[in-house]
Structure 1
Amino acid sequence: MRPRWGSRLAVAGWATGMSLLAAAAQAAAPEAPATPGEPAVAAATPPAASRFDILEYQVQGNTVLPVVDIEEAIYPFLGPDKTIDDVEGARAALEKRYADRGYITVAVNIPEQTVREGVVRLEVAEARVGRLRVRNSRYYALGRIKDAAPSLAEGTVPQLAGIQRDSEVLNRLPGRTVTPQLKAGTEPGTVDADLNVEDESPFQASIELNNQYSAGTKHLRVSGSVGYDNLWQLGHSFSLQYTTAPEDPDQTSAIAATYTARIPEWKQSLVLYGISSRSNVATLGGVNVLGDGTVIGARGVLPLPGLPDFYQTLMLGMDWKDFGESQEFGGIQSKTPITYTTATIEYNATRPDTQGVTTASLSATFGLRGLGDPDDKFAQKRSGASGDFAYYRASLERQQALPADFELTARLDGQLASQPLISNEQFSAGGVSTLPGYVESEELGDNGWIAALRLTTPNLNHWIDPSLVEDWRVYGYGDYAELWLQDANPGQDDEFQLASIGFGTRVKLLNHLTGSVDLAVPLIDASDTKADDIRILFTLGASL
């Protein structure tokens, strides 16, 4: 027997009245006096449950659940020789089906009824959103926040999956957290929804002093940046960064501008950027590179369908690059300006779990022949290089939680090239982000890999004053790298190894001040660094 479906959907249960009448009749019956000498009956035998046929459930009030879901939920409770427990089972199964589909404000009831011809009615009560409010938003338009949460629009039946999707969209913008909340509505049969906002000023500014220098340059660097993260009330961002050597600004300087257009509803972003650098001393792998450089590029970030606790994105981009350089090697100087275009495709994946986070990326970069200088320009900069080069990069990182809130981070990066590359596209090793025991980009190679291991303590601010020190951690690390040149010139080294160990500490004060100090020791000689020459690295920063 299958449920019949007419113009209405309703689930009916009956036998309630019959059971109540039987219980009332039993309670009203006078008790027979016990015959003297005979033992009294301790308790009356409970009556057998009433049995009846259920040929159809009518479900009334449903507007959100597909008919097939209703049929699957109540079908086991159809048939002959049923009891009121089967009706309750159908009600509970249907209510559970709503909950499983994320409709957390829906209840199923068994109304008072007279059952005829085996037809039982169930009533669905769908609590709809009566009022949607945005609370505590200081910098973001209330209407746009509401529009980004269609699952909680007034008059809708809230569904958990829709709320989670909208929450993900609402929380994509930097500096803003939105938490949905449902509560009993002011009108009967409704729920009210609040979007509770915690936001920071979209304006950002920072400045930092450090000694992250490249060989042959002054040691100090100053970097400053300003940005705004909510242009046009659309969540678009613009930032401007400037870096220079304060002891000799003519020695090296760079300026970069970035514009990010976010499309939260589609989960996509478009990033446009431009970089201009100027240097009269910049040593790359033992070669002095002098001159100016300009890069203009675009990146499109496309989220891919994921799984629970697995997120992946695809990034597509192009860069136009113009470097007006001259090189000095072995006392011989030559002008080697070059202009070319590259295309990049990159895949990123993130997998968080209860013990940490795993991230991975794969990318490929291709030189686009015909959109820049001919091959002989590449050959002037590097023997064997051409405009149709390609190289592939991969990285894998694991952040693992340890007992007592320690954290261990392991990372592996590598590059493989199709041919000899010009210096601007080579794989570099050395510097704070790779091997702190060496200066920035101390060695370059066409192919290479870097392995890094870091152990970090838990937050130690309770040892000082948590109201003053927001975060204070100590860490130790070890790094190793190997790089190779393809088709190296006669007499030129074609293989490099770097290794360093060290420890350091970083601190964040009063939510605006940051600092770090590292002691790093190189273990292998390199082009400009000798083994065991201890390096002291520092950063001092302030931000709004």
Structure 2
Amino acid sequence: MLQSHCHGVNPLNLPITGSAIGGLLLLLSPFTPSFSGSAARAAAPAQKPLPSAVTPPVSSFLESWPAVTPPSIETPEHSPLGPLELTPQPPAVLAQTNLPDTDGASPSLDPLPEEAPLPVLPTPEELLGPDITPPSLPDTNLPGDDATIVIQRFEVVGSTVFSEADFETITTDYVDRPITFTEVRAVRDAISQLYLDNGYITSGAIIPPQAIQDSVVQIQVVEGGVEEIVIEGTQRLLPGYVSSRINLGTGAPLQVDRLLERLQLLRLDPLIDNISADLQAGTRPGTNLLVVSVTEATSFSARYTLDNNRNPSVGSIRNQIQLTERNLTGLGDGLTLGYNITSGSQDVDFAYTLPINPYNGTLSFSLGYTGSEVLESPFEILEVTSNATVAELTLRQPVIQTPTQELALGLIASRQGTQTFLGIADIGGFPLSAGANDEGRIAVTALRFFQEWSQRSPKQVIALRSQFNLGLDALGSTVNSGDIPDSQFFSWLGQGQWVQLLGPDTPLLLRGSIQLTPDPLLTLERYGLGGQATVRGYSQDEVLTDNGANLSLEVRLPIWRDRNSDGLLQVTPFIEGGVGWNTQEADPDPNSLLSIGTGLLLQVENLDVRADFGIPLISTDGDNDTLQEQGIYFSLGYSFF
């Protein structure tokens, strides 16, 4: 699944520097407004959620204007976290613009999805039935117990699993002494039991017809396999989707633990509601027919969300609608369409994911567009608008995958572009972000290599993510001379999450992230602090810098349950903090945030409601015009299907 795709636009943050402001003032007097920190944050188009940083004061002839905060990108609650920021550099910028928020438009800017503890896995009896019995194999009739024989050696043939030494531990007590043919059969049965004890439930040993020579008895091992996989019960999902994944666990000789692992992985697949299998005798000895019964899950979903997680500059109240089809053509391919709107922005998202192998490797393409307009005073007089696009091609391949653990590697090729405009006096395209060209354009082409590891149990989740970002001079990307930020950069983003279930419906959540870079970064790549996904109690992207780190600790305590409707109400106290710093330019003041607070989380059937109130422990300059700027965040989501 794509994790970074268009979702919403962050407000424009307006860093101010002397040269750009000076030229603009000549055009705009007598319309010169007095800028404040919060207003500055309102002037940048948004891309992914990122916190904003405060830029240094402007040149001496503008000393009366307070420093303005650069833009930030939003970080959706269920996307990889990535910070971005703007740095005023010559030519100075009046306002910063962020790309459309795409639910992960930039893989580097989204928080890790919140993982739930592992559900209780089905037992072997539930998946394969209670009557798993060894196969009936043809055997040779041996004389009764009246006859005895002295055997010097048992020769076991046909085994690809066990060594000669493994069989010697069984046969040692039966050689070099007279034994009955019942004891010969006991050796055969012990070898069959060795296979059964190690999970090879369709394998066994026989004594083939033979003339005993040199006191050597041959025992033949028949290692069973699956002759055919028959899939029953699928509706829209192609049977090959299921059989190709089960086939990975049916290699000869068939081992029940490998088969159960593949069935359990399919049971966890969101496309499948239930699955069970029945091993039946095949057409030849040692072969089996595997009949798999599948109940498909609902693949289509529609969800509406109302929240105030956008930057106040373009309107913090956001309406979102998302349509998802997880099985578009029967291949297990997913399509997601999203539309988000605030009073000053509109976002459109598109994402398509195609499974490319039975190991759950995927190829994803996402495209997002955001148009935004700065509405916050005093910048609305400048008629600042922006548009932004993001396109990504993502290859993700799990290299280790079990029902409890996954290690995946992936590569993202991304292209982001943004342009800002001044409508006043019909100025048109204008460089309002550090690194933008004379027409206000910024373009970033990058390759992003990520590694993801997660481990889940019924009471604990640990998830780690690492991503290396390499900006390229390609496809018309922004390239500047000197220390001006551009598309040529290197950065690393690390993220982690730990969830521990303390009791029924009582999880403890610890999450954090860090970004490091040796380069000054464009706003689209900077690290943001502030907002619901990083440090609550501060407005979205309050601090936006090249480097940064944050940590959050939250516990969810149940105060009401309704088992009939699956209703649950939790109180969620938290403490969060973070720090940001720049590679070359001065750090914003303050460059660290710290807050405590609490919230309420309500889940009832298809409805979830959340409200958080954060108390900032480190004060920052800014207005308190919106709920978000007063430390209050809320979200209401309803799933129609």
- Distance (whole Å) between structure 1 residues aligned to residue 249 and residue 308 of structure 2: 51
| Alignment: residue pair count | 481
Alignment equivalent of 1:275, drawn from 356, 368, 387: 368
Alignment equivalent of 1:502, drawn from 597, 616, 622: 597
Percent sequence identity is: 20
Does the CA-based 8 Å contact 1:13-1:88 persist in structure 2?
no
- Distance (whole Å) between structure 2 residues aligned to residue 94 and residue 488 of structure 1: 73
2:321 is aligned to 224
- Distance (whole Å) between structure 2 residues aligned to residue 151 and residue 421 of structure 1: 45
- Distance (whole Å) between structure 1 residues aligned to residue 564 and residue 268 of structure 2: 29
Does the CA-based 8 Å contact 1:130-1:185 persist in structure 2?
no
Task: Using structure 1 for the length normalisation, give the TM-score.
Answer: 0.76
- Distance (whole Å) between structure 2 residues aligned to residue 441 and residue 418 of structure 1: 21
2:355 is aligned to 262
Amino acid at match of 1:410: L
| Structure 1 residue 168: Cα displacement | 6.3
1:514 is aligned to 608
Change (3 A) 1:143 1:421: closer
Change (3 A) 1:10 1:279: same
- Distance (whole Å) between structure 2 residues aligned to residue 468 and residue 125 of structure 1: 53
The yes-or-no answer on 1:368 pairing with 2:463 is: no
- Distance (whole Å) between structure 1 residues aligned to residue 375 and residue 271 of structure 2: 37
Does the CA-based 8 Å contact 2:241-2:332 persist in structure 1?
no
The yes-or-no answer on 1:474 pairing with 2:571 is: yes
Change (3 A) 1:429 1:534: closer
Alignment equivalent of 2:263, drawn from 167, 177, 180: 167
The yes-or-no answer on 1:349 pairing with 2:453 is: yes
The yes-or-no answer on 1:526 pairing with 2:620 is: yes
The yes-or-no answer on 1:359 pairing with 2:468 is: no
The yes-or-no answer on 1:211 pairing with 2:305 is: no
- The residue correspondences of 1:51-62 to structure 2 (distance < 5 A) are 53-59=150-156
Change (3 A) 1:257 1:99: same
- Distance (whole Å) between structure 1 residues aligned to residue 327 and residue 271 of structure 2: 10
- The residue correspondences of 1:65-144 to structure 2 (distance < 5 A) are 65-66=159-160, 69=162, 71-76=164-169, 77-78=171-172, 79-81=175-177, 83=179, 87=184, 90-91=187-188, 93-99=190-196, 102-108=199-205, 118-120=215-217, 122=219, 132-142=229-239, 144=241
Q: Which moved more, 1:335-344 or 1:114-123?
A: 114-123
| Structure 1 residue 439: Cα displacement | 2.1
Amino acid at match of 1:391: S
Q: Which moved more, 1:123-132 or 1:158-167?
A: 123-132
- Distance (whole Å) between structure 1 residues aligned to residue 391 and residue 417 of structure 2: 9
- Distance (whole Å) between structure 2 residues aligned to residue 373 and residue 264 of structure 1: 33
Does the CA-based 8 Å contact 1:11-1:123 persist in structure 2?
no
- Distance (whole Å) between structure 2 residues aligned to residue 290 and residue 160 of structure 1: 61
- Distance (whole Å) between structure 2 residues aligned to residue 532 and residue 255 of structure 1: 26
Change (3 A) 1:467 1:309: closer
| Structure 1 residue 240: Cα displacement | 0.8
The yes-or-no answer on 1:302 pairing with 2:302 is: no
1:34 is aligned to none
Gaps of 5+ in 2: 1-136, 421-429
Gaps of 5+ in 1: 1-8, 23-49
Change (3 A) 1:107 1:502: same
Alignment equivalent of 1:313, drawn from 389, 398, 408: 408
Name the SS for the 1:402 alignment partner. Answer: strand
**Higher strand residue share:** 1
| Structure 1 residue 123: Cα displacement | 6.0
2:580 is aligned to 483
Task: Using structure 2 for the length normalisation, give the TM-score.
Answer: 0.65
Using CA pairs under 8 Å that are at least 6 residues apart, name the structure with larger relative contact order, 1 or 2.
2
CA RMSD of aligned residues (A): 4.0
